[in-house]
Structure 1
């Protein structure tokens, strides 16, 4: 008899942990297949350390083949779902097309950059979602200081040494906090830039940094950024971007060659193209992570609008903490649908958050106890090591080397700017290949 086939779309926090649990629960009773564009799980929270030379890129990637033996990996980008015939359509890295049938489907497609209708942003800004963007940013920051060192035009030098980060959530705050330390390190290695001012700006339309967190953590992060010279400008954003710089919503012009877009994310367009009910762009599911009317289809992570049973009437936020736990619950409920275990709702209370601010600084509230400075840093790095499904020793070793050795700052020039556009998905292209 043919064994049941469980297909998981995506290997982010939700998809990877769903596959990991299903591999344990299903064992030889079902085939588990992951469709993903890369052969690794990416530990996104440490990307700012890749972008500033603390960690090597492979440290934040965990091989699917090594950690999920027995789970089949299909390299490809899903661009079509036929829910009636239970087929998943995808294109592999060579452009060849393929299809997979399934008995159960877990949609954990994740998210892509959120674009706003602001002139010039798509052309001149760069996002921060994966390894290519992190490696590009590291090279870009290095290059800007090297170009500034080479010019005698003070206006051009000022523009090259100005960095604008839009979005003061987790990603933007950490990028600005790590970035200002990295460029200061670079400046010290260029004697001609000894008296050059390095200008970092962090913008957000919110009224405070890290608006989704407790105000005490927000104040900690804000103070660290301002003490390092970052211009924290709340209630402000970009009105237009050009090759020469940006115009802010207060009509101020800022000459810059560096616009880093960390405004937020939106669900993968494959979700919207299904034609099913969505909430805030996320696929509506019940408390068991099932898609209404499609008992064989589950969704979790950023792709799903999961009811938050601890806050009736609301949905869970798009965080790695929720995605990981939802992936595990979706896997257990898929197994329960085959008679292994019991169907249970997703219930989770946040145990706290950690924000790495570079150097010896961090903000954390483990078990909702607010911490700052070195104690928060210890908690933050300990949390990341425990959360990573691999590469823990290598990551810890890189941290040790960074503490005692001179950081390497050479450009690799392996990621051209054209290869990391801000817009990473084309909803119209997906819609053409999808039917509900």
Structure 2
């Protein structure tokens, strides 16, 4: 099996490599290709990747290259983890929206739109080159904003599934609280990428006992503290929202906080400098503890499980979504996984071609969403509005134009007011002109 990581010079990559090394029985990687145009970073990351494989006794071959076409040739799956414009662009995404009193964040609001406009054309170009070189390869997208990027890939006819680590983080957290193995936890997870709610926590599979009420009763304070939301709010909702919902439920509070401290981008840039120094140490043969603070916790496990399902491992696929009575297992855990995929009627209040983030049965034919119970209008309404924003965002990314950017910002619930949308449109274009072919 050959896997290719585009953006392989990322400081995230050792987390991914660690998962490939530890979980080789689930995903037997024979060749791992790291593709990145930044040769200096790629050399450091590639060296550490080889040492991690050696430490775990993994005999797979690790190749580093700046040549995309050569790197994806013959790959069974291509993993995308890109940051167009680097941390410098992220710094801008997180700062200029604050001038209008709007959240500055890299995946949502005005900053998230800027990232989408920079990213979608690049990802589609990469995907076309993958299709020309290797049309049978699956594309697994980690690149934010995952929902918009995955929708762009699917609408262009690519074999693509999007992946985020929010759900697996909740799964691991709830498993620790309950004292059970993570594979015993099945989440009733519903929403869009970075706009999701855990409406149930089930033991053993989709039909298992829902223990969420007990979790909120016993551990509500700890869960609320992690989300930085008030405990009474969780009690009233009866669900666990993603921490990204804080940008909506406590918008003005978040803006005040963001204005009072250095940006997350500045923190991450400093962490990356430290990590790259560590990666240069020839004696380092495991992912450093600092990497956990960089973000992306557990995404290696999620990636392994998804790739194993898509590439015909022991996962249950769209044609066999049962849990064999007691919650069937593959080596990676549950036969189901939370992914970003086409709605196709799963949430009837959204268009069929919307990309949603839900539990799905994953197999060689792709991801088949499980049935979702009726969604509370409190969540369905916000999902519908953000879905409309994502549709407009994709149109703006594909076709360009100031008016399309303005309409997209006006549609976003974190912007909304026309005066803000006007100013933010000008700011977005000014800060991203070098990445926008039409500007």
The TM-score with structure 2 as length reference comes to 0.30
Q: Which has the larger radius of gyration?
A: 1
- Relative contact order (C-alpha < 8 Å, sep 6+): which is higher? 1
Higher helix share: 2
Higher strand share: 1
The TM-score with structure 1 as length reference comes to 0.31
